[in-house]
Chain A
């Protein structure tokens, strides 16, 4: 094939691989676990995987955090500041969502006296 789209395989992207694994574990627990609290924890785990991925994308070997201390503003001295801002946004949204989901879980528990998702579905069907 005369394709000029060349790339090399990087087998040492450990941080990215770990973030993907964390995301996958969170996704699996989210789908397979019946306990609502554990579902919320799994969602947070998925968030954490995403943050690790973003932070890994912004890192550059041997460079310092983007806080200019000596007055020299050279792009070659600091890591990428953009992913840090994105992670900050993500953390805020995930905190809000966690609080909201836990509040919903409290209301469900008060009504059905169980945290088991299947049981809640069964009970709510019976009520109809």
Chain B
């Protein structure tokens, strides 16, 4: 009822008409609200009859001056809220445990357990990789799916369908960089591309041995793909890395991740021998499933990064030409 009253008040303030409130409602809702509306109508008529403070205030609410005041009030209140939040957060800082103290409550038995048993249980010398791709692998699958879902949402919003007669988003200029870029960019790219590609693959493959992993390596690979498409035209790159390839690569990587980890969860939960050897710590082919899982994550991240870029540039990766 209060909502209806506010809605009618809003319509009255905007258009000077009180009965316009129920227009955008369904008939059932309208019937229901008409009772409340009559009540509030009667109340407002009563208020209107005597030229007191309230009716004058209500009529003033619709003017541009009130809108300006509202904007100013919003800014003042927002500034006060922001300042309060920042000050409260800063005041809590001295009450937090000392920075870098080994006895802090954050350094509890959980992290000790991860460090002390992580190497023998997962086979990964990088404890963080062992943690996110073995103990908490399910969480990382969720992360990869978040990336995939974001890719799908951006595609829903920005993808231009070139097969149809007319583009579904006519305003987006379908900009294709087919010509040749600046000579400096092209020559720098020729030198940089092999290095960045190999570095990205190195980071993905060494995720269980040193700092890195699927997420960072995949980002490096995606960045080098973006550089390549900027320097030599998207058409030449998308001849090999078309929309279909990108789509199926992402799907296959997510599927492979899910299957591999389901197998390992299934055998682990039922106390079966999984048959996955952990290998010698420090060797490239060691740490059981972490290397293939890193590869899957790297594929997903690289495809997502490049397709984000392609969709913001020209409404999606071209289908195979």
**Is B139 close to A, CB under 8 A?**
yes
Q: Which residues of A contact B311 (CB under 8 A)?
A: 103
Q: Which residues of B contact A60 (CB under 8 A)?
A: 100-102, 104, 107
Count of chain B residues with Cβ under 8 Å from any Cβ of A? 64
How far apart sit A93 and B116, CA to CA, in the bound complex (Å)? 30
Count of A-B residue pairs with CB < 8 Å: 173
A85 touches B90 (CB 8 A): no
How far apart sit A91 and B136, CA to CA, in the bound complex (Å)? 16
Which residues, 32 to 59 on A, are CB-close (under 8 Å) to B?
A: 32, 56-59
B153 touches A100 (CB 8 A): yes
**Is B28 close to A, CB under 8 A?**
no
A: contact size bracket: 35 or more
B99 touches A15 (CB 8 A): yes
List 4 other contacts, CB 8 Å, given A20-B93, A76-B102, A78-B115.
Answer: A61-B101, A68-B281, A93-B146, A103-B154
Which residues, 89 to 119 on A, are CB-close (under 8 Å) to B?
A: 89, 91-93, 95-97, 99-100, 102-104, 106-107, 110, 118
Whether A99 touches B308, Cβ cut-off 8 Å, given contacts A69-B125, A80-B111, is: yes
Contact residue among B78, B86, B102, B172 (Cβ-Cβ distance under 8 Å from A20): B86
Q: Which residues of A contact B215 (CB under 8 A)?
A: 88, 91-92
A28 touches B86 (CB 8 A): yes
- Chain B interfacial positions (CB closer than 8 Å to A): 71, 75, 78-79, 81-83, 85-86, 89-90, 92-102, 104, 106-107, 110-112, 114-120, 125-128, 131-132, 136, 139, 143, 146-147, 149-151, 153-154, 157-158, 169, 171-172, 209-211, 215, 281, 308, 311-312
Contact residue among B86, B94, B97, B125 (Cβ-Cβ distance under 8 Å from A68): B125
Shortest beta-carbon distance from A52 to chain B in Å: 12
How far apart sit A9 and B210, CA to CA, in the bound complex (Å)? 37
A10 touches B99 (CB 8 A): yes
B139 touches A89 (CB 8 A): yes
B312 touches A21 (CB 8 A): no
